[in-house]
Amino acid sequence: MQNLEHVDMYDENMNHIGSGERKGSEPKRHWTRGVHILVHDDKNILLQLRSSDKRKYPNLWDFSAGGGLLLGETTKNAAIREFQEELGIPWTFGDIKEALVVKMETMEDGTICNNFNSVFFLGKKLEPSELNLKKDEVEEIKHFPYNKFRDLVNSEKFVPYPKHYKKEILNYVDKYFTN
Neighbours of 43 (CB within 10 A): 11
Considering the entire predicted model, what is its pTM? 0.89
Q: How many whole angstroms separate alpha carbon 163 and alpha carbon 73?
A: 27
Q: How many whole angstroms separate alpha carbon 105 and alpha carbon 144?
A: 28
Please state the domain extents for the chain: 5-177
Q: Which pLDDT does position 124 carry in this prediction?
A: 92
Q: Which pLDDT does position 29 carry in this prediction?
A: 65
- The residues facing 102 across adjacent strands are 117
Relative to beta strand 28-40, strand 111-123 is parallel
How buried is 44 (Cβ within 10 angstroms: 0-12 exposed, 13-18 middle, 19+ buried)? middle
**134, 85 contact by CB (below 8 A):** yes
Q: Which pLDDT does position 175 carry in this prediction?
A: 84
User: Any idea which fold 5-177 has?
Assistant: Nucleoside Triphosphate Pyrophosphohydrolase (3.90.79)
Q: What letter represents residue 8's amino acid?
A: D
Question: H/E element holding 82?
Answer: helix 75-87
Nearest to 141 by CA among 156, 129, 151, 125: 129
Question: H/E element holding 8?
Answer: strand 5-10
Neighbours of 34 (CB within 10 A): 21
pLDDT tens string for the chain (179 positions)? 456 678 899 998 999 998 888 665 444 568 899 999 999 998 999 999 999 999 889 999 999 999 999 999 999 999 999 999 999 999 999 889 899 999 998 776 666 678 899 999 999 999 999 999 998 999 999 999 999 999 999 999 999 999 999 999 999 998 877 76
Which DSSP state fits 67? E
Q: Positive or negative CA dihedral for 169, 171, 174, 179?
A: negative
